[in-house]
Each structure stands twice: as C-alpha cells, then as structure tokens.
Structure 1
C-alpha cells in the first residue's frame, strides 16, 4: 500500500523510544515527525496535516491525555495511539472510549503497533 503523503507524529520525552518508534514507522515507508514534548507538537502550525499521532501518556508538563484533549478541542480529530511505561486500565478505558485507536504498554509489540498504524491510515 503506498503511503506517499501519510505523516505520523511521534511525541515521547524518551529519546530512545522516540527514535526506535520513528525507525519502525519509517520502515513502513511513512513520513515521520518526532517531538520531545506535547508543547512542541502544539506549537506546530500545520499539525492538522498529521495523519496519525503516537504519543506517550506520561510526559511533563503536558501528558498525552491532555494533548489528545487539546487537539480534540481544536477540532483536530487525527487517529491517536497511546504508548506508556505505566499502563493504567482506567486511563486506557477512558481514552479508548474517547476515541483513541490504540493503547500499548512499553515495551510494546512492534507488529501490534504497525497493525494499529496501518488501520489508522487506511483509506
């Protein structure tokens, strides 16, 4: 499946996770933009051009849950996939109910994340 214009944003304050996830997504032929904080993504003027967001849940000062809500408040409804080192069933259930596409505990299964991203960008 050609992914010409598809852009995946990765927001994680852990550089090693950000880099590894970026490499995984790039291996699919997708364009990747990485951010070390939610604020960096929120400062992006063309963030509505992102086709899918992969974000860490636990970040300071703005976590992935708040980022998800801010984007929704702006009317930006890109698919969102959460990754976290601290899985919490209540947060997972709340985010999935709110429309998140996936919620993965680190270390996550690479193929499961790929499948979720593929579903997010499918026509």
Structure 2
C-alpha cells in the first residue's frame, strides 16, 4: 500500500496501548488507540483502518465479541489478537475465523511486527478484491436484459452460434452482445 497504514490498538490496559502506540508510530504507522471494544465500535471511520490489534479479554465486549460485531457490519479489517490468558482452543477458533495471528503477551517483538505487516498486506489485497468485485457488479448492472441473458449462456460454456440459437437471434447479434458483455 502506498498510503501510510492506520493501525487500531484495542486494549483495556493503558500501558499496553501506550507501548504499542509508541512502537507502531516509530515503525511509521498511524495509530488509533481504544480502551475497549465499545470505544472502537463507536468510531465512525472504521473503513480507514488497515489492521486491528485486539486484546481478547476486556471488560464489556471481549475481543471476539468486538470482532463479531465488525463482521456483522461488513468491516474488512485483518485482525491480530493479543492475550495474556489464551489457550489452544481460543487460538484455533480465532485463526479459523480469519485472524492473521494470535499472540500471547508478552509477545515477541519480531512476531508482532511480522503479524502487523501481514495484516496490512492482507488488508490491501482484500480491499483490492472488494474493489474489483464492486467494479464487476457495476458493469453487470449496466448490462441490458438481453446482454444478461447472453452472459448467462456464455457462463454455461455456449459459443456464439449456440447463444444465437438459444435466443432466436442472428449470430452477428450474439457476437455484438458478447462484445458488450466483455467491455
């Protein structure tokens, strides 16, 4: 990503938030620190975040509950979980649900930095994929009803002649519709 990435740090321990904020700013990231999951969820600019460092055990919403809420809202935000009290089933569940990493406190600095870098790369790839998907949806919405019929037949593997026969149109017309679909 060419832009400076913004990392959200969510931890109820002020010392941990301050330490992570200092480290990440030194590495060139922008940081937004939150004392709770509720505080994060109240932020109306979540789409500008690139990575979430999320404590698992916090008063109020846990890390898992916070992540679940973000998922419900459709927020694409690669997550690195941090916990002082984790266990294997918790780590497996976090990874199964798409976590970039699950780190025990005190974490190894190199492991944390690498997890953040993977998360930021993942965010870029996910957002690029979403942008391509949105572009395809816009193109699909612009197709005429006939072009959508042609597309459906092409997706079934039919050639121009078979499409023309299926729709009762000239082969040249089928070719023109195919060209419009491919633009």
Q: Under a length normalisation based on structure 2, what TM-score does the superposition of the two structures give?
A: 0.64
**8 A Cα contact 2:4 2:28, kept in partner:** no
SS of residue in 2 equivalent to 1:40: helix
Q: 1:42: how far off?
A: 0.2
Structure number with higher relative contact order (C-alpha < 8 Å, ≥ 6 residues apart): 1
**8 A Cα contact 1:80 1:102, kept in partner:** yes
SS of residue in 1 equivalent to 2:74: coil
Instruction: Provide the C-alpha distance between the structure 1 equivalents of 2:8 and 2:18, rounded to a whole number of angstroms.
Output: 12
1:88-103 alignment runs, 5 A limit: 88-103=87-102
SS of residue in 2 equivalent to 1:45: coil
Aligned match of 2:24: 25
Any idea what the Cα deviations from partners look like across 1:51-84, whole Å, max 9, x if unmatched? 0000100001101111111101111121000000
Q: 1:89: how far off?
A: 1.0
Higher strand share: 1
Instruction: Tell me: CA distance 1:98–1:14, structure 2 relative to 1, closer, same or farther (3 Å).
Output: same
Aligned match of 1:56: 55
Aligned residue pairs total 122
What's the C-alpha RMSD, in Å, of the aligned pairs?
1.2
Check if 1:7 corresponds to 2:3.
no
The structure 1 segments of at least 4 consecutive aligned residues displaced by more than 6 Å after TM superposition are none
Aligned match of 1:66: 65
**8 A Cα contact 1:3 1:29, kept in partner:** no
Gaps of 5+ in 1: none
Instruction: Provide the C-alpha distance between the structure 2 equivalents of 1:81 and 1:103, rounded to a whole number of angstroms.
Output: 6
Instruction: Tell me: CA distance 1:81–1:42, structure 2 relative to 1, closer, same or farther (3 Å).
Output: same
Gaps of 5+ in 2: 125-183
Q: 1:22: how far off?
A: 1.1
1:41-52 alignment runs, 5 A limit: 41-52=40-51
Higher helix share: 2
